[in-house]
Amino acid sequence: MWFYPKAQTKGCTLEGLALKRDSSAFQRRGVEILGVSFDEPKANAEFAALQGFPFRLLSDTERRLAVVVGAAESPSQPVAARISYLVGPDGKVLQAYPNVDPETHASQVLSDLPQR
């Protein structure tokens, strides 16, 4: 689950495209990619369509999820922090990534996946 600050901005697009590039490797490993931002559903739908993302982008406009998981300090935060979580099949967080490099993050997560 990757939180990104704003749809269709440079860093968010770079990160999304890297995840898209490696999406088949994630699928083979049984990983579902979910993107989350504070953007309205329409903005996220346009972002996904424009970039051809093969994964869902969720809209946390009230910041409820972001506050609970640490992607926002409060509901008044204007944009989500660029942070990701690798979540196991049991719903437990296996790894948190608080310092994400948009260009290399997908590869980093792939290398951290537990072996099957």
* Among 116, 2, 108, CA closest to 53: 2
Residue of 7, 12, 48, 79 marked active site:
12
| 12 flagged as catalytic | yes
Annotate 36-47 with b (16+ C-beta within 10 A) or e (fewer). Answer: bbbbeeebbeeb
Q: Active-site residues: which are they? A: 12
